[in-house]
Structure 1
C-alpha cells in the first residue's frame, strides 16, 4: 500500500504485539492500469507475491471470497468486488511487511494497477471459531 495511504499513526497506537486480522475490501478496475489484463489479473499477481510475504511473517489467509450484495446498510459506495481476512501474529508484523522495500517495489504496483479502491481495516477478536496456531 503506497506508504502515503498507510495509516501508520493509527496502527502504531495499537498494541504492536497483539494478533490482528485485517479485513480487506477491494473494488477492481475493469482493466489493469498497466494494460496487462483485468484488475482481477493484477490482483492475482499481487497475491502471488504477498502471500509468501505474509507467511514469512507468521501470518496466513483465513478466508477470501467474492462480495455478492449489500445485505444491510448504505448501498452507495459499498459495491465491493472481493473480501479477504488476513491474520498476522502482530500489528508489528503487518507494518513490517507493508513498509518493506520488497512490498513497495514488487507487490504494491500490482495492487495499485488492479484496485480502483482497497480498504484494510485492522480488527481484534471479540469472538471467533477460527483457531490460528
Structure 2
C-alpha cells in the first residue's frame, strides 16, 4: 500500500512556517480498483469513493476556504517512476487554513473515506514564487 496518511513530521514543519502565507496543495492520486469496505463506500470503485469524499467535505463544511484551481487526469509520467490517476491543485488562503482543516475532527473522520478510495497519493505543499498574472 502507498502513502495515504498525513506525515506528522512534515505537518510539524509546516506549522513552523509562516501561518499566513497562502499555499497551493498539489494532490497526486492513485485510486484503488475497489474501495476498502467499512467506510461507507462499500462496493464503490476507488474513483467513486473519492468523489464521495469530496461530497462529504462540502456537506460537512470542512473546506476551510480552499478552492480547487485545477483538476484533471494524469495521463503518463514523463520523468519519474510513479503513475497517477488524477492531479488536483487546491489553493488555501493561508497555511493555517490547511493545518486547521487536517486537525479538524470532522475532517479526520471524512479522511477515512479518502484512505478507503486511494491506493497511493502524494500531497505536496507549494508556495508562489512568481507574481500571479
TM-score, with structure 1 as normaliser: 0.83
C-alpha contact 1:23 1:123 (8 A) present in aligned 2? yes
Alignment partners' CA distance in 1, 2:131 and 2:53: 28
2:45 aligned partner: 38
C-alpha contact 2:62 2:106 (8 A) present in aligned 1? no
C-alpha contact 1:63 1:86 (8 A) present in aligned 2? yes
Q: 1:53 aligns with which of 56, 62, 66?
A: 62
| Residue 90 (structure 1) aligned with residue 94 (structure 2) | yes
Q: Which runs of 5+ in 2 are unaligned?
A: none
Q: Which runs of 5+ in 1 are unaligned?
A: none
2:23 aligned partner: 20
TM-score, with structure 2 as normaliser: 0.83
Alignment of 1:1-133 (within 5 A): 2=5, 5-6=7-8, 7-34=10-37, 35-51=42-58, 52-54=61-63, 57-71=64-78, 73-74=79-80, 76=81, 78-105=82-109, 107-127=110-130, 129=132
Q: Deviations over 1:48-74 (max 9, x none)?
A: 1224422xx222111100000112x12
Q: Which runs of 4+ in 1 moved over 3 A?
A: none
